[in-house]
Copies of this chain bind each other. A is one copy, B any other.
Amino acid sequence: MPDRKPDPKSADLPATQTRTLEKTAVDHQLDALLQERTEVDSLERILDQLPAADRAEAYRILYGDLPAPLTIPAGALAYAQEQDFELKAYRFQAAAEQRRAPRIVRLGAIQMQIQRPTSDPVEDQFQALVARTEVMIHAAGQCGVNVLGLQEAWTMPFAFCTREKQPWLEFAEPVDGPSTQRLAALAKRYNMVIVSPILERDDAHGGTIHNTAVVISNRGHVIGKHRKNHIPRVGDFNESTYYMEGDDGHPVFETDFGRVGINICYGRHHPLNWLMFGINGAEIVFNPSATVGALSEPLWPIEARCAAIANNYFTVGINRIGTETFPHAFTSGDGKPAHHDFGHFYGSSYITAPNGSRTPGLSRVRDGLLVTEVDLNLCRQVKDKWGFQMTARLAEYAQALTKAAAPDFQPQIIADRRSS
């Protein structure tokens, strides 16, 4: 590993996301390599080059029954173009039932990049993020979105890579803090439930920090919150330096537009986390995330989608975009030189239906709003068809896990005998 001197200018903060500090030879090498790697817009844009029949068959195998396009107001599309974000809208259908009316709901997901350099004053960064989010919520409102999800820790850069407590903890706020108040007004105005993942400070419990999703009612008040259940220790996701595992179980929020759960980021790697939201009755589970290409991109289309299949609810995977650069170089525990950026957040937010069909993803590189109309009746219809709940054998797994968690657990291993 090269011996690097501390950078004497590390206190000089870059004025824009792309401006960098004085560079070493290694930095220049890295830059050259990174410049060669242009990010593609999306997998779908690649697949769309295929001949029509092949493209249809590829999508069938890869995505299931593609949802139909949903017509949304021209004004919303024009606004999205003017404000430079992607706007895509789809519709999943369910069968008509005799004894239940359709329960048509529009889900929304917003993905975005940070708006100001991470070296700007915290308040400026926060206000810019709120302003951009409000712009996109206006579009969601025009599109009739009923339940909207934002990305993990949307009020801040994902600064946990740095392991610095300051200034990043200044982004933390109570559940009813500034971001909630700003969003609550829009939630009421647009009759829209908003799932708002923030960095929470809990002053009633020692001022502790939590990674928390606030659920804001379409009537403008807080319905409740959920804290991230599984905290990563992988790559630059040093979140365990900042907060502990969630302590509020697997709450499902019964809203005017369906029963909503939230599996925050790294919790998507834990099938039991998804399972408990299903057991508690969720019809829609958001997965607000912040995850980068080199680490997780091939897993991204798999996990939230598998959860929708296994639990027969809608899942909404949301990932931020862009490359976030931090003032002070940090190492990644991988023997490589210190660096300033976290890697590329690849967006690609998408929604999966309870039968495993999914929407195309949003862009890997652009801010975006994904709108999807669903009929919540589909959840029970798919449960009735596949029978996973009936065949789950929960009581036996409860026993098996109880044994597995005991200190004296012996795995069920059957050894081969050595002589034939």
A residues apposed to B, CB below 8 Å = 40, 43, 46-47, 49-51, 54, 57-58, 60-65, 188, 217, 219-221, 223-224, 229-234, 245, 249-256, 259, 266, 269-272, 274-276, 279-281, 297-299, 301-303, 305-306, 309-310, 356-357, 385-388, 390-395, 397-402, 404-405, 411-417, 419-420
20 contacts between A and B (CB under 8 A): A43-B58, A47-B50, A47-B58, A61-B298, A62-B301, A220-B420, A230-B392, A233-B391, A249-B412, A256-B416, A270-B392, A271-B272, A271-B275, A272-B393, A279-B401, A279-B404, A303-B310, A395-B405, A397-B401, A398-B401
By the criterion CB–CB under 8 Å, are A411 and B279 in contact? yes
How many Å from the CB of A258 to the closest CB on chain B?
A: 11
Q: How far is the CA of A283 from the CA of B215 in the complex (A)?
A: 40
Do A251 and B414 touch (CB < 8 A)?
yes
Is A309 in contact with B303, judged by CB distance below 8 angstroms? yes
CA distance A310 to B271 in the complex (A): 7
New A-B contacts (14) at CB < 8 Å, excluding given A64-B298, A245-B391, A272-B392: A49-B54, A60-B297, A61-B298, A63-B298, A65-B298, A217-B416, A221-B417, A251-B414, A253-B416, A270-B392, A279-B411, A298-B356, A398-B401, A401-B401
The reply to whether B297 and A234 contact each other, CB–CB distance below 8 Å, is no
| Residues of B close to A252: CB separation below 8 A | 411-414
Question: Is B269 in contact with A388, judged by CB distance below 8 angstroms?
Answer: yes
Top 4 A-B pairs ranked by shortest CB distance? A219-B420, A271-B271, A64-B298, A306-B306
* Copies, count: 2
Residues from chain B with a CB closer than 8 A to the CB of A392 are 230, 270, 272
User: Using Cβ atoms and an 8 Å threshold, which residues of chain B touch A229?
Assistant: 393
Which of these, B64, B224, B280, B417, contacts A411 with CB under 8 Å? B280
Residue pair B414, A61 in contact (C-beta under 8 Å) = no
Once the chains are docked, how many angstroms separate the CA of A139 from the CA of B411?
Answer: 35
Q: Which residues of B contact A271 (CB under 8 A)?
A: 271-272, 274-275, 306, 310
Cβ distance A347 to chain B, nearest Cβ, rounded Å: 12
A73 to chain B, nearest CB (A): 26
CB distance from A93 to the nearest CB of B (A): 16
Do the beta carbons of B276 and A400 come within 8 Å of each other?
A: yes
Q: Name A391's contact: one of B62, B232, B388 (CB within 8 Å).
A: B232
Given A43-B61, A411-B281: A391 and B298 interface contact (C-beta under 8 Å) = no
By CB atoms of chain B within 10 A, which of A47, A301, A310 has the most? A310
Bound-state CA distance A43–B62 (Å) is 8
Choose one: B232, B275, B276, B414; the contact of A254 (CB below 8 Å): B414
Does B230 lie within 8 Å of A270, measured CB to CB?
Answer: no
Residues on the B chain within 8 Å of A420, using CB: 188, 217, 219-221
In the assembled complex, which residues on chain B have CB atoms less than 8 Å from the CB atom of A223? 414, 416-417
Distance in angstroms from A64 CB to nearest chain B CB is 4
Cα separation A395 to B47 with both chains bound (whole Å): 44
Known: A46-B54, A270-B388, A276-B397. A62 touches B412 (CB 8 A): no
Chain B residues with CB under 8 Å of A60's CB are 297-298
Q: Which residues of B contact A280 (CB under 8 A)?
A: 411-413
Tell me the bound Cα distance from A47 to B50 in angstroms: 8
Contacts A217-B416, A356-B298; A310 near B269 (Cβ below 8 A): yes
| Chain B nearest Cβ from A405, distance in angstroms | 4
